[in-house]
Amino acid sequence: MPNGETSLINRAHVIKVVLPEHVIEAQLDDGYDLATRRHVAMLLSSGEQVTGHVAVYRPPGRDRLSDYAHIDDRFRYVEQPDRTLLINSLHIVSLLEVTA
């Protein structure tokens, strides 16, 4: 908050958080360098479409997008060329793999 106030927000209602540029928070996760990358398009409950790359932390053969969709994490990183987003998985309406 600009004037030093504290604000409590119910995380169930948070759809998306945009991290500041050059924040590499997603890259600090264990296994990041080994994870399979998938280019995805997500439709959010707000109607917004988000595209970017997600890291699937699953063993080979279980690293499909459908496996990623069943992971129990509340917030998921979506990496874009200029920033990283945190997406509340409860607000993902559809998840599609984007092929080049």
The stretch 79-87 carries a mean pLDDT of 95
Predicted local confidence at residue 69, as pLDDT: 92
- Report the CATH number of the 11-97 domain: 2.30.30
Domain boundaries defined on the chain? 11-97
pLDDT at 1: 58
Q: What distance in Å separates the CA atoms of residue 64 and residue 7, rounded to the nearest whole number?
A: 38
Structure tokens at 34: 């080994």
Question: Distance between CA 85 and CA 16 in Å, rounded?
Answer: 7
Q: Is the pLDDT of residue 57 over 80?
A: yes
Residue 92: per-residue pLDDT:
97
pTM over 0.85: yes
